[in-house]
């Protein structure tokens, strides 16, 4: 199963669900109670289509064979580097803002841990931005640095379940929970991929659902914030915006990893088959294996050699080439 077909499912479901999701959050939510005014009809439809899309993505990507080479990739992408830099600064800004201004989590201890881990994750993402811009890979030599972004997701989940226990079963908070889960799984798989510990298949398994959910939750939240309206979700606005930026960062990584794997001959994650052996071509100036190289000497070359040997006062002489009594290949 080719990954480009998964792109079709992802883009098709996004185009179908995003307008409905925006209309639902703007016009079909009671700002006083936070409940839907259409008795949950649109919520059921969105959840059903979203579930089918995610299941299709998981099925299509999981069927692709993955054969990690054990070698860390070296990827260079200007667009992904820009998005990584933006995401890294967003991590740092949200961590500082939550720690010094408006806490993202009501629990003081968890909010402090989330802020500190978020800033460390921001440093890691900025380092990734540098690697993507220069074609280097620091996670290959220091793989522990890649643990900070998924660790941020784990702390965020703990904070959500502790702080929003009373509303965690609501549809909106369920979307937010699934978003964080898929994003942290992608960030963890990306760290392992860059360290050469596994192939890229899991990036597509977790990346597409994570981006889809983050866009469907983050964009409406961003629009409602600009309108000055209250959110129907208990998830903080700052974390919604951070999830939105992470989604764009993940999307850029999916694109550059896809292109990087396309350059490999017979990439298993892209064609759903095993690796195709590369055709061995002789390098320039060499003969194919199994054949004895032949040399052609001109009369001018012989004269040059004779001149050099005579200058060294050697006893070597040149004779006309005689036909060999043996096979011409010897």
Residue in 130, 133, 128, 131 with CA at minimum distance from that of residue 149: 128
Q: Looking at residue 168, what is its pLDDT? A: 42
In a domain, residue 129? The reply is yes
In a domain, residue 316? The reply is no
In a domain, residue 40? The reply is yes
Where in the sequence is the domain holding 213, given as residue range(s)? 3-271
Tokens 């994650």 locate to: 269
In a domain, residue 283? The reply is no
Give the number of other CB atoms < 10 A from CB of residue 45.
14
pLDDT tens digits for range 61-94: 887 666 555 677 888 889 999 999 999 999 999 9
Q: Looking at residue 160, what is its pLDDT? A: 83
List of residues 6+ apart from 201 with CB closer than 8 A: 61, 62, 64, 65, 66, 269
Q: Looking at residue 2, what is its pLDDT? A: 67
In a domain, residue 297? The reply is no
In a domain, residue 299? The reply is no
Transcribe 239-283 into DSSP letters: HHHHHHHHHHHHHHHHHHHHHHHHTSTT-HHHHSSPPPPPP--PP
Q: Looking at residue 277, what is its pLDDT? A: 43
Q: Looking at residue 278, what is its pLDDT? A: 43
pTM for this prediction: 0.76
List of residues 6+ apart from 5 with CB closer than 8 A: 60
Q: What's the distance, CA 72 to chain centroid?
A: 14
- Cα(138)–Cα(180) distance, rounded to whole angstroms? 25
Q: How many domains does the chain have?
A: 1
- Cα(95)–Cα(155) distance, rounded to whole angstroms? 13
Residue in 183, 164, 182 with CA at minimum distance from that of residue 233: 164
pLDDT tens digits for range 208-235: 999 999 999 999 988 988 888 877 777 8
Would you call 75 exposed, middle or buried from its count of C-beta atoms within 10 A (0-12, 13-18, 19+)?
A: buried
In a domain, residue 69? The reply is yes
In a domain, residue 266? The reply is yes
Tell me the average confidence (pLDDT) per consecutive run of 10 residues in the chain, 330 residues long.
81 94 88 78 92 92 66 85 95 93 86 94 95 90 90 91 63 88 95 88 93 93 86 82 94 90 59 45 49 57 70 58 54
């Amino acid at each position: 199963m080719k990954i480009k077909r998964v792109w079709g499912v992802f883009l098709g479901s996004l185009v179908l669900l995003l307008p409905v999701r925006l209309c639902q959050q703007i016009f079909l939510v009671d700002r006083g109670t936070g409940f839907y005014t259409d008795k949950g009809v649109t919520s059921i439809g969105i959840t059903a289509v979203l579930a089918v899309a995610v299941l299709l993505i998981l099925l299509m990507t999981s069927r692709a064979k993955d054969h990690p080479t054990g070698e860390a990739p070296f990827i260079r992408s200007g667009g992904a580097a820009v998005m990584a830099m933006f995401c890294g600064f967003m991590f740092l800004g949200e961590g500082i803002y939550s720690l010094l201004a408006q806490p993202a989590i009501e629990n003081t201890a968890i909010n402090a841990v989330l802020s500190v881990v978020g800033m460390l994750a921001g440093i890691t993402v900025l380092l990734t931005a540098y690697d993507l811009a220069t074609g280097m890979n620091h996670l290959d030599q220091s793989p522990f640095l890649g643990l900070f972004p998924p660790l941020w997701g784990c702390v965020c989940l703990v904070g959500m379940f502790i702080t929003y226990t009373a509303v965690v079963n609501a549809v909106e908070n369920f979307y937010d929970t699934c978003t964080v889960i898929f994003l942290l799984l992608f960030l963890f798989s990306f760290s392992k991929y860059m360290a050469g510990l596994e192939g890229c298949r899991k990036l597509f398994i977790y990346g597409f659902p994570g981006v889809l959910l983050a866009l469907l939750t983050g964009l409406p939240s961003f629009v409602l914030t600009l309108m000055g309206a209250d959110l129907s979700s208990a998830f903080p606005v700052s974390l919604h915006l951070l999830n939105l930026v992470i989604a764009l960062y993940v999307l850029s990584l999916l694109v550059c990893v896809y292109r990087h794997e396309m350059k490999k001959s017979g990439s298993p994650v892209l064609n759903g088959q095993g690796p195709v052996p590369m055709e061995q071509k002789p390098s320039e100036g060499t003969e194919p294996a199994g054949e004895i190289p032949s040399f052609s000497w001109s009369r001018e070359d012989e004269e040059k050699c004779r001149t050099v040997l005579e200058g060294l006062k050697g006893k070597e002489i040149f004779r006309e080439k005689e036909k060999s009594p043996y096979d011409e290949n010897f």
